[in-house]
Amino acid sequence: MRALAFDLLKRALSLLLILLAVLTIIFTIPYVAPGGPERALIGWPYTAERASSLRLHYGFERPLYEQYGMWLRNGLAGEWGRSKFTGRPVIREVEFTLPLTLKLLAEIVVLATLIGALFAVAAIYPWYRPYSGRGQGLGTLAAGLPDFYFGILLKFFFVWHLEWFPVGGFAFFAERPWQAYRQLLLPALSVAILYGIIIGPRVAARLAMAAGVRDHGAFEFTQVAPGGMRKLFARALGHSLIVLLQSGALLLGSLLLAEKIFSIPGFGDFGIEAFVRRDYPKIQAFLLIIVGAYAVIRTVVNGIEAARERRLRRRGPLLLDEPPRKSAPGLGGLIMQDGFFLGAVLVMALIASTAFAGYIAPYLPDEVHMKDRLQPPTTQYWMGSDLLGRDILSRVIYGGRHALIVAGASATGAVLLGFVFGGLPRLAPRRGVALMTPFVQVLEAFPALILSLLMMTLLGQGHWQESVALTAGLTPAIAATFLHCEGEGRVRTLLPAGFIAAAWLNAFGLAIILEATLNFLDIGLLPLIPSWGGDLKANLPYLHVNPAIVLFPGMAVVVSALGFNLMAQSVRKQAVSQPSI
């Protein structure tokens, strides 16, 4: 009991330090923005009279520590500044948009938890057979499917084709609750289905570990349901909720995109608009709520996981010292794995098509044919043409070149920085890990998509800017993975090469999705550069006229991310003997 109280106190103090560091970072954002804090916070029109009044309000003439104290006092008093463009108080816009987002988030969590539990129970059936990772293929496919693309597909099928949901407009719960619920159901499903499939195999593995003895990497289910299906499903729901909250960083990004795609005037749309328009008072308010809430949720979930691990250790499950490998060791055994081979084929096809784009693409990416606008797939335009008559196939091929350059640079930079922050401190396990853990925890409080959006807001659009932004977004998770990785039972060890390779491949696949997401939000590459996400966003208004112009750029993202995810999963299985829970 004393150990539990000490652990709770330590986690509470750690959370307070993280929140203080997060507040400090958010406060400094306008000071590192282009033009300084006055240009960042005062906005347009920049008149001398307006600048003088707001300079007095923010205390720019005082020392920096006094400005920080004023900012904290104003935040506690509800004085969060005014929007640079609308002039309205930011706190009023937050009060208007946040409740709607909380309702949507509640629906997503309930549906995703239910779907994940159902998927896990289906994956472990039949119970007399050992569980050895059934359902991981679907989970890998869902992880490589961009949230915004899946939402667009659902919107096209259920809104435009079946007409089960209204095309536009929005009803509020106070006026028409049933209509408002229907309008939130499809956005919630677009996120919940993906995350339910992603977390399902992990929930099944957790059920297996809690139920019996691990043997040869499999889990026997002869005693999995001593209390019947009802108790099994109840346990699956609990594990599903915990695993879903562990993916909270990605879930928050998906929530933002769902609101953008389905035109929901919620807090996510509020944040995206603030980043795109560089409205720094709204950005600060958005980060205060999102990052602060996520830091609290992570602390609670980590505490629950620590208690679960202590309980499992007390039970003393039988673990084999050297479980037999399911595949031959070395590079030959890796290549013989079906997942790695399929992923390598997809990645090599992508690299070859982009490297020889000038010979493969039938047209230049910006070649305009006005007489052939919005053409369906034909022998002349294999993937159709867009509003300007540009060939979609050519733009997909050339867009892949930009995606590979940005994603490759981002993944490499993130792994290098992650190794510096998480790998090198392992040489001094006590001091190095203890000193670097709080720093990594502060970085982890910023979800990858939100941190990438913030960096793009500060740096501007372009290739190197997007590479730097994605590197910053991917680094915290990689650093945390390296820092807390167990290296074959040794405390003082560097990371195995296979583990680093798996992290790089996984980061590459995620960088492709994030790169397409930034371009979809019009904050990535410059508009004239062919990009998968940018083309998808530009062609979206004509989805009901010619679905092919949206289908094929999105499929390029899916296939590319799937190839890297399959390779990463195979390399991780080859490098790490313990299953990922």
Convert the pLDDT of each residue in 69-102 to its tens digit: 888 888 888 888 888 877 788 899 999 899 889 9
Neighbours of 54 (CB within 10 A): 17
What single-letter DSSP state applies at residue 214? E
Please state whether 334 falls in left (phi above 0), alpha (psi between -120 and 50) or beta: alpha
Q: Which residues, including other chains, have CB under 8 Å from residue 133's CB and lie 6 or more apart?
A: 201, 205, 579
pLDDT confidence band for 517 (50 / 70 / 90) = very high
Q: Which of 551, 504, 536, 532 is nearest to 401 (CA)?
A: 532
The pLDDT tens digits for 392-431 are 999 999 999 999 999 999 999 999 999 989 888 877 777 7
Q: Which residues, including other chains, have CB under 8 Å from residue 152's CB and lie 6 or more apart?
A: 261, 536, 540, 543, 550, 554
Neighbours of 310 (CB within 10 A): 13
The answer to whether 261 and 142 have CB atoms below 8 angstroms apart is no
What single-letter DSSP state applies at residue 215? E
- Does residue 2 have a pLDDT over 50? yes
Higher pLDDT, 553 or 428: 553
- Does residue 314 have a pLDDT over 90? no
| Ranges of H-type helices in 125-160 | 136-143, 147-155
Higher pLDDT, 152 or 434: 152
Gap between the Cα atoms of 232 and 211, Å rounded: 10
The average pLDDT across 198-207 equals 86
- Prediction pTM value: 0.87
Most confident of 10-24, 297-311, 400-414: 400-414
The average pLDDT across 160-177 equals 68
The average pLDDT across 301-327 equals 61
Scanning the structure block, which residue is given the tokens 């946040």?
Answer: 98
Per the structure block, which two tokens stand in for 328?
């031959």
Most confident of 148-157, 215-224, 315-324: 148-157
pLDDT at 321 (0 to 100): 34
pLDDT confidence band for 44 (50 / 70 / 90) = low
pLDDT confidence band for 486 (50 / 70 / 90) = low
Scanning the structure block, which residue is given the tokens 């031959």?
Answer: 328
The pLDDT tens digits for 324-368 are 445 555 566 677 777 788 888 999 999 999 889 888 989 998 888
The answer to whether 512 and 346 have CB atoms below 8 angstroms apart is no
153-157, 171-175, 202-206: lowest mean pLDDT where?
171-175
pLDDT at 128 (0 to 100): 57
User: What average pLDDT does the structure give for the chain?
Assistant: 82
pLDDT at 325 (0 to 100): 45
Q: Prior bond to 126 cis, omega within 30?
A: yes
